[in-house]
């Protein structure tokens, strides 16, 4: 038996998609356990480049089954678009893609409210992806959400939708002085858009549990990153789901005692889209240089990502929250041309040393740096750890030491083959594949 949970250790976009796709080669089941179309997971495969928003990144292997877990929120319109694109590239998802019946749905009013709430926050805005994520999870916790299983019964769906559209319209008109939605139109369009999806709606928890019981290989795919977690992240500049390893159990509907090991994906530097603290952020020319080198533009919204040095205090906290067995360092090649590379080793707060990123202190955290010499050689052709320049290896080893977690793999390009195994013993998943 083997199962592996993959999470982001920073603020998202660490390259989880590439790593999930790569490690899914030997998986029988891949489960997305939280988030929704706010995610953009890029996979470069022989079939072309894919950006997955809601479909698990294991879908490219014809024998792999995929579940959109109950911890996700699902936008059927966006899922249809995504499926169209995937199918155009020759990937068939029939009888391979499933949606848990407990998964909450994103409705048109969630998207409208997401935008209006952001506008109202003015200079405190979070910079959401505008996909309706926060309002959809809000309804879930307010216990008025509509779930995928509700799409199997027209009367039930209509009744719930009628109530929710009325409530949303009240808010839209009274609070935001905005146009109300037309219930009949929402109902008709939503019902139509979801007819093709109903065969996928199942009790996902049973499917996942059965796979685990039968010793199948199961991958749990996280979205966003540890510091965007609703509880452990840089609140309020976070997303609204549990992005950490604990979320894999909750968001799949299985006992946490099933989970065997976890790997954290960390970019060789740091990026963030949207607002919120970012101690090692680089400003202006330096930030732009890293953005251009790493092509750091959002996979979902196209927004330029804020860029900065690797922040060991940030990843160290992620190692602890997730109890990571190992790290995968991505985008090492992006640093190839830099003569000097800095690493944030920790912080000072009012003169005192602080080892871990702490959102309560975030505004006053002053990062401390070490500077390492760059390797100034291309790494994207490296396939074995021994192929990497000595200084690149030193960089990796320094990161591992600072964050107190071994590195199992390094990624040196977006392609599947552009991956270097550093130490396969660190992950049972690699050994047993």
Contact 267, 18 (CB under 8 A): no
Question: 103 or 300: whose CB is closer to ligand GDP?
Answer: 300
The Cα 229–Cα 240 span in angstroms is 7
- Catalytic residue, candidates 104, 110, 140, 267: 140
Quick one: which H or E segment has residue 408? strand 407-411
Q: What distance in Å separates the CA atoms of residue 410 and residue 290, rounded to the nearest whole number?
A: 19
330: contact with ligand IMO by CB under 6 A: no
Which one of ligand GDP, ligand IMO, Mg ion, none interacts with residue 18, CB within 5 to 8 A by kind?
Answer: ligand GDP
**Which of 209, 49, 236 lies closest to 125, judged by CA?**
236
List the x/- string, 309-348, binding to ligand GDP by CB under 6 A. Answer: ---------------------xx-xx--------------
DSSP 46: T
Do residues 68 and 98 make contact, with C-beta atoms less than 8 angstroms apart? yes
The answer to the question of whether 304 is labelled as a binding residue is yes
Among 9, 117, 129, 345, binds ligand IMO (CB under 6 A): 129
For residue 236, say if its preceding peptide bond is cis, omega within 30 degrees of 0: yes
Catalytic residue among 41, 160, 227, 267: 41
**# binding residues, ligand GDP (CB under 6 A):** 21
316 annotated to bind ligand = no
Tell me how far the alpha carbon of residue 366 is from its chain's centroid.
27
Nearer to ligand GDP, 13 or 114 (CB): 13
Determine if residue 193 is labeled as part of a ligand binding site: no
Q: Residue 81 or 368: which CB sits closer to ligand GDP?
A: 81
Beta partners for residue 272, in sequence order = 306
Binding track over 38-57 against Mg ion, x by CB under 5 A: --x-----------------
Burial class of residue 344 (count of CB atoms within 10 Å of its CB; 0-12, 13-18, 19+):
buried
Instruction: Tell me how far apart the alpha carbons of residues 427 and 262 are, in angstroms, rounded to a whole number.
Output: 8
| Site residues (vs ligand IMO, CB under 6 A) | 8, 11-13, 38-41, 126-129, 131, 133-134, 223-225, 228, 239-240, 273-274, 299
Residue positions annotated with a catalytic role:
13, 41, 140
| Site residues (vs ligand GDP, CB under 6 A) | 8, 12-18, 40-42, 44, 299, 330-331, 333-334, 411-414
């Amino acid at each position: 038996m083997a199962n592996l949970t993959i999470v982001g250790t920073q603020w998202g976009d660490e390259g989880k998609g590439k790593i999930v796709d790569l490690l899914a080669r030997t998986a029988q089941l891949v489960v997305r356990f939280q988030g929704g179309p706010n995610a953009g997971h890029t996979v470069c495969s022989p079939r072309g480049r894919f950006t997955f928003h809601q479909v698990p990144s294991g879908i490219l292997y014809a024998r792999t089954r995929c579940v959109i877990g109950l911890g996700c929120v699902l936008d059927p319109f966006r899922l249809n678009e995504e499926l169209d694109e995937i199918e155009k590239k020759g990937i068939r998802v029939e009888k391979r893609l499933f949606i848990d019946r407990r998964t909450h749905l994103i409705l048109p009013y969630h998207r409208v409210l997401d935008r209006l709430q952001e506008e109202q926050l003015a200079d405190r805005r979070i910079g959401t992806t505008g996909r309706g994520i926060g309002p959809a999870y809000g309804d879930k916790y307010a216990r008025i959400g509509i779930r995928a299983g509700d799409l199997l019964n027209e009367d039930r769906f209509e009744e719930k939708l009628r109530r929710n559209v009325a409530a949303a319209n009240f808010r839209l008109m009274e609070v935001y002085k905005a146009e109300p939605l037309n219930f009949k139109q929402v109902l008709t369009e939503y019902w139509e858009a979801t007819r093709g999806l109903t065969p996928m709606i199942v009790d996902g928890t049973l499917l996942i549990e059965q796979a685990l019981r039968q010793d199948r290989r199961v991958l749990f795919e996280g979205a966003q990153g540890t510091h965007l977690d609703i509880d452990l992240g840089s609140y309020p500049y976070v997303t609204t789901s549990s992005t950490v390893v604990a979320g894999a159990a909750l968001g799949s509907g299985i006992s946490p005692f099933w989970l065997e090991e976890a790997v954290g994906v960390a970019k060789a530097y740091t990026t963030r889209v949207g607002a919120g603290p970012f101690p090692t952020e680089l400003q202006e020319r330096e930030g732009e240089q890293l953005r251009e080198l790493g092509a750091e533009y959002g996979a979902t919204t196209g927004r330029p990502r804020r860029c900065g040095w690797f922040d060991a205090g940030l990843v160290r906290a992620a190692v602890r929250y997730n109890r990571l067995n190992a790290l995968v360092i991505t985008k090492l090649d992006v640093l190839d041309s830099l003569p000097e590379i800095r690493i944030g080793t920790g912080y000072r707060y009012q003169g005192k040393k602080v080892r871990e990123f702490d959102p309560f202190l975030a505004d006053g955290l002053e990062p401390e740096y070490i500077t390492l010499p760059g390797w100034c050689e291309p790494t994207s052709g490296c396939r074995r750890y021994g192929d990497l320049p000595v200084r690149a290896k030193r960089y990796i080893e320094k990161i591992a030491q600072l964050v107190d977690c071994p590195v199992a793999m390094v990624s040196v390009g977006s392609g599947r083959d552009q991956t270097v195994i550093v130490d396969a013993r660190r992950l049972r998943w690699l050994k047993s594949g």
